[in-house]
Amino acid sequence: MTLDDFRARFPILGRRVYVNSCSQGALSIDVEAAIGRFTASWHSGGSPWDQWVGEVERLRALFAGTIGADADEIAVMPNATVAAAAIATALPFDGPRREVLLGGVEFPTMAHLWQAQARRGAQIVWAGAPDDSRTPVECYEARLSDRTSIVPVAHVCFRNGYRLDLPRLVARAHDAGALVMVDDYQHTGTAPLDVRALGVDVLVTGTLKYLLGPPGVSLLYVRRSLVEQLEPLVTGWFGRAEPFAFALTPLDWSSSARRLESGSPPVPSVYGAVAGLELLRMPGADQVGHQIARLVNRTVTGALDRGLDVRTPITPSERGALVVVGATDAQALAARLAARGVIASARGSGLRVSFHAYNNDADVDAVLAGLDAERPLLLDRPA
Ligand SMILES: Cc1ncc(COP(=O)(O)O)c(C=O)c1O
């Protein structure tokens, strides 16, 4: 599929300059139709749970194929927090490995859920200050030891687009005998992804951003050799070996990553998520990655030429799909841009614009024109 054909699947792009995929991906006609198929199946079948559970399995297999994993290494979860918490509650913190190594790049939820494990003996070690959005791998390396249990880390920071050197971090963490759990939410769908090549132990992501799906479903990859060691504290019938045996005992565990699931799956969201993943396959990960990198580069260059306070790393390998510029009042700036038809988002004192392969050069030019028009609200690049 060409990028123009891909773009044509998203009606909002005909009406708005939509550069907010880091918050929520645009709605395609394909995902809208899939959600309609869910409601139609409910109307016609009443309770077609076999069909709905089949759709969950489709999502599992599709996502596994997208990241180079096998379906039995994937759990379908309701959000990224719950997915990561399933891992957190399955780890023991009563032995010599009690440390959880966090950096400042995390989305807040990913720091909260680990701090809550302190009651079970976990000790939080900060690789970088909690507000340091560019914690480099060196800071993690300095704090890794034989006390480190796990390094939960964001691949791309939601606040400024900083992208961590993941292969190096994984190698160093494994040398220290620690696990690595990647929060890939700001990355999955923006570039080719191969979990085996990366060597991560766990990967958490969701469908609502760059995977083009709706809210309500997240996806969890667990390396096969780790799966059978994990017994989360929140569990239920979907974690059992035979959920539809409806047996109260024993508390057995599915031999697959499904053991991390708990209750009924988020079926309407799953329908949309399947359609989003199928659509994303059409242009292909290489073409998607190339287009996003090109648009990000065009934006960073344009912002630097204008002397703006670009908070996203200048080096292409150190950044993801979003570009952040400093503003005197980022909320007001986002609102002014929205009034001009440019949908972006604000986080703290930064205005975020993010790109998917459905965006084009004209979108970038419209963003830059909007920044020119609102220049008084933007900060200068520090000397
Ligand atoms: C990096 C990252 N992780 C996690 C989340 C949200 O996780 P959840 O699905 O639990 O809301 C976001 C949301 O913006 C995010 O950017």
Residue-level pLDDT at 128: 85
The CA 138 to ligand 1 mean position distance, Å, reads: 25
Q: pLDDT at position 53, please?
A: 98
Map residue 324 onto helix, strand or coil.
strand
> 333 pLDDT exceeds 80?
yes
> Residues lining ligand 1, CB < 6 A?
79-81, 107, 109-110, 154, 158, 183, 185-186, 206, 218
Between β-strands 350-354 and 345-347, what pairing exists: parallel, antiparallel or unpaired? antiparallel
What's the CA-to-centroid distance between 80 and ligand 1, angstroms? 6
Ligand 1, atom nearest to 83 Cα: 10
Closest ligand 1 atom, residue 158 Cα: 16
- Rounded Cα gap, residues 157 and 164, in angstroms: 8
User: Which pLDDT score, from 0 to 100, does residue 341 have?
Assistant: 98
Rounded Cα distance, 318 and 160, in Å: 11
Rounded CA separation 175/366 (Å): 47
> What are the tokens at 151?
């390094």
For the CA of 84, the closest atom of ligand 1 is 10
Judged by DSSP in three states, 55 sits in helix
CA angle 257, 263, 267 (to 5 degrees): 90
What separation in angstroms does the CA of 330 have from each of 60, 184, 301, 371? 38, 25, 20, 12
Q: What percent of the chain has pLDDT over 90?
A: 97
Residue among 109, 163, 202 whose CB has most ligand 1 atoms within 8 A, to mutate:
109
pLDDT of residue 49: 97
Tallying the residues shown for the chain, one arrives at: 383
Residue by residue, DSSP assigns 198-250 as HT-SEEEEESSSTT---SS-EEEEE-HHHHTT---SS--GGGSS-GGG--S--
Tokens of 180: 């690595």
Ligand 1 centre distance from Cα of residue 182 (Å): 12
Residue 131 has pLDDT above 80, yes or no: no
Instruction: Give the model's pLDDT for residue 244.
Output: 95
The predicted-structure confidence for 76-88, as pLDDT tens digits, reads as follows: 999 999 999 999 9
pLDDT grade, residue 112 (50/70/90)? very high
Q: Which three-class secondary structure state does DSSP give residue 124? A: strand
State in Å: Cα 252 to ligand 1 middle. Answer: 31
Task: Identify the band that residue 134 occupies on the pLDDT scale cut at 50, 70 and 90.
Answer: confident
Q: What is the CA radius of gyration of the chain?
A: 21
**Distance of CA 185 from the midpoint of ligand 1 (Å):** 6
Q: Which of 87, 159, 186 to mutate to test the pocket of ligand 1 (most atoms within 8 A of CB)?
A: 186
pLDDT at residue 362 is higher than 90: yes
What is the per-residue pLDDT across 262-303, written as a single tens digit (0 to 9) for each?
A: 999 999 999 999 999 999 999 999 999 999 999 999 999 999
CA of 107 to the centre of ligand 1 (A): 6
Q: 239-248: per-residue pLDDT in tens?
A: 999 999 999 9
The rounded Å distance from CA 218 to ligand 1 centre is: 10
Residue-averaged pLDDT of the chain:
97
Q: What are phi and psi of 204, to 5 degrees?
A: -115, 135
Q: Which pLDDT value is given to residue 234?
A: 97
Lowest mean pLDDT among 29-43, 118-132, 140-154, 170-184: 118-132
The residue whose CA has the least distance to atom 8 of ligand 1 is 80
Predicted confidence at residue 283, as pLDDT, reads 98
Q: Is the pTM of this model over 0.95?
A: yes
- Report how far residue 205's alpha carbon sits from residue 217's, in angstroms, rounded to the nearest whole number: 9
Ligand 1 mutation pick, 24, 82, 107, 354, max ligand atoms within 8 A of CB: 107
Check: CB of residue 204 under 8 Å from CB of residue 220.
Answer: yes
Task: Identify the band that residue 364 occupies on the pLDDT scale cut at 50, 70 and 90.
Answer: very high
**Averaged pLDDT, 1-17:** 98
Question: What is the band of 133 on the pLDDT scale with cuts at 50, 70, 90?
Answer: confident
Q: pLDDT for 170-202, tens place per residue? A: 999 999 999 999 999 999 999 999 999 999 999
State how far the Cα of 258 lies from the Cα of 210, in Å rounded to an integer. 24
